[in-house]
Structure 1
Amino acid sequence: MADRVVAHQGAACWATLFTHAHYLPCLAVLLQSMRACQTRYPLVVMVTETVDARTRERLARMGCVLRDVDAWRVPHADGSLAFERFQNVWTKLRAFELYEYERVVMIDSDMLMCHNMDELFDLPLERGMIAAAFACTCNPKQIPTYPAEWTPRNCGYALRPHPPNDARQLTKPTYRLINSGVVVLEPSQEQQAEIHTFILRHTERVAQYRFPDQDLLADVYRDRIQMLPWYYNALKTLRQCHPDLWNDGEARIIHYILDKPWLLGPSPCGEHTHLHSLWWDAYASLAAHPATLSMTRDEWANEIALHVRGI
């Protein structure tokens, strides 16, 4: 049996990818929410060459640890991606190259932390494994670019108990899919080489991925994924798709998949009104006190609010 380790005994961090200044609003809100939850670990922001010097300076002044990474491009078939913006998500996997850290919790920036979840750094994890939560395959909006098998009857979140304590319950391919909004990993050259090798050996399969980074992780770590409870990556759609599972008070971190609150405006409506309002409340609190992130009101207006709709 593989050795079990608790990697936080060495250096550990949160890590997120940042590719353009227009992501500053969501990153600022995420960072402040993490501080409000009193995390003990730094946020490493992996920046690509598309991030200008002014934005880099802003990120550093906000208190982020910057790490330059090369964009990772992998060929994909025309029309294969669920959304064209997903062509950039391969670069998230540079988190496996943060070798100075023994444990990394990779998170997306379109999230709002509601409760401290530093316990993920203490999570017992066998070597060569990752931990992540299910992908919700219900596809409530019937998005045509999603796989045909993405239906409620095939969703891993329908399994009970949650998460399953017996791998024999994972009888459908969709039960082995993850959402990469939160991934607990241990950087190593060995694991990064394994990822690269898989891509080279399975070029045709990889080219057809709809959700590149998370589809790849589900393939590479097929039998080496420790499933996390839903509340460590509380996809906003779970509140409607799996109401028996969702509990507002249990959500550790809300993941604003699909429509983004900062792009919809400050008067949310529709089925996600409550969760979008939580993001806007956090934004308004931060906008009222920009010095919290070492910013003046003018700097906030010109660098953050500039990228928010309706402000």
Structure 2
Amino acid sequence: MSSPYPLVQSLSFIRPCLLRHAPRAAYVTLLTRQNYLPGALVLHHSLLSVGAQHPLVVMVTPSVGQDVKDILARRGMVVRTVDHLKPKDGTHSLSAHDARFGDTWTKLRAFELTEYDRVVLLDADMVVMRNMDELMELELPNESIAAVHVCACNPFKLPHYPSDWVPANCAHTPMVHPTALTSPPKITDASPRPYFLLNSGTVVLNPSAPLFDSIHNFLFTTDISGFNFPDQDLLAAFFKGNWTPLPWCYNALKTLRNIHKAMWRDEEVRCLHYILAEKPWQVRPEEGGDYEELNRWWRKEFEQLRAEMQTADEAGWALVSANVAH
């Protein structure tokens, strides 16, 4: 019998977990402010659309109002209130361009969700295009993670990005279709520094209280002043030499479509990640520039959500709509 998940057969590192029973597993995202509510709702809707068999847990901080939490619960998500997590004052700062990353340290609290054996942590600015439940069965040591590499091309030449972020040092540059789907970038001692970096939009992990304590201690005892991207730089440093690279399709950064055309195929995208400051719900239709077609993928899911919520949850929809560019 063929596998229900095609990549399970082709990716040597994805093998069923050796568990007597199916693991308790969940997709998890973080919501710290109301203006990301459309993103979280579309992420959840897309998981349902592709037939995901595991719930979406939304970690919400005290900054999120009860009205937002009620909408999430009514849509069938599991809501978990968590405290903000951030380093000591004065130990880390962000450029004005990246101020939005200030909340992302709190994503690390996914390691505290010990009611689950396996968690796939996803950013709220993502849409799932194909079922990827196989990540729940990925063979992974308890104190390890799996993720997709960063794209270190720096196409917009942002001056505050690391100087070694150039195409020649990007782990995706040598990748080509179709082998990029079965053989993600390999890290060796001779690899350029960016090869050791991950993008934390998709992170596969096994929650553990002792592991979270170690990560928490690392956050407060390590020099993090040079971290450009809070949680993902910390994860790359903490798990250096101990994380499994995943193929690009599980965290398909929207910029990869234009930068790494030899690797990208629209039909192979499992999870599309709308990186950069402007999110698809913050951009009016036909004003998405180079990313207009990809924004349409998000809006297609959003319109299906609208059709459901306008009749079933009129008050909730009014709040969602207030956070969308029309």
TM-score normalised per structure 1:
0.91
Residue number in structure 2 paired with 1:19: 32
Per-residue deviation at 1:278? 1.0
Structure 1 residue 132 and structure 2 residue 152: aligned? no
Give the length in aligned residue pairs.
302
Structure 1 residue 182 and structure 2 residue 199: aligned? no
| Separation in structure 2 between the aligned mates of residue 60 and residue 166 of structure 1, nearest angstrom | 41
Unaligned runs of 5+ in 1: none
What does 1:141-290 align with in structure 2 at a 5 Å threshold?
141-160=156-175, 162=180, 163-164=183-184, 166-168=186-188, 171-202=191-222, 204=223, 206-258=224-276, 259-290=278-309
Contact 1:17 1:109 in 2 (8 A): yes
| Separation in structure 1 between the aligned mates of residue 300 and residue 193 of structure 2, nearest angstrom | 39
| Separation in structure 2 between the aligned mates of residue 250 and residue 170 of structure 1, nearest angstrom | 30
| Separation in structure 1 between the aligned mates of residue 212 and residue 166 of structure 2, nearest angstrom | 32
Instruction: Compute the RMSD of aligned alpha carbons.
Output: 2.0
Name the SS of the counterpart of 1:265 in structure 2.
coil
Structure 1 residue 46 and structure 2 residue 62: aligned? no
Which stretch has the larger CA shift, 65-74 or 150-159? 150-159
Residue identity in the other structure for 2:155: P
Name the SS of the counterpart of 1:133 in structure 2.
strand
Structure 1 residue 299 and structure 2 residue 310: aligned? no
Change (3 A) 1:191 1:81: farther
Residue identity in the other structure for 1:248: D
Change (3 A) 1:269 1:46: closer
Change (3 A) 1:91 1:166: closer
Contact 1:11 1:102 in 2 (8 A): yes
Per-residue deviation at 1:27? 1.2
Per-residue deviation at 1:79? 4.3
What does 1:57-72 align with in structure 2 at a 5 Å threshold?
57-72=70-85
| Separation in structure 2 between the aligned mates of residue 149 and residue 6 of structure 1, nearest angstrom | 40
Q: Residues 209-253 of structure 1, C-alpha deviation per residue, up to 9 Å, x if partnerless? A: 110100000001001110000000000000011000000000001
Per-residue deviation at 1:145? 2.4
Name the SS of the counterpart of 1:156 in structure 2.
coil
Contact 1:6 1:121 in 2 (8 A): no
Per-residue deviation at 1:28? 1.3
Structure 1 residue 101 and structure 2 residue 116: aligned? yes
Change (3 A) 1:82 1:193: farther
Change (3 A) 1:169 1:217: same
Unaligned runs of 5+ in 2: 1-15
Contact 1:82 1:210 in 2 (8 A): no
Identity of aligned residues (%): 40
Residue identity in the other structure for 1:121: M
Contact 1:89 1:212 in 2 (8 A): yes
| Separation in structure 2 between the aligned mates of residue 135 and residue 26 of structure 1, nearest angstrom | 21
Residue identity in the other structure for 2:323: H
Name the SS of the counterpart of 1:83 in structure 2.
helix
Residue identity in the other structure for 1:167: I
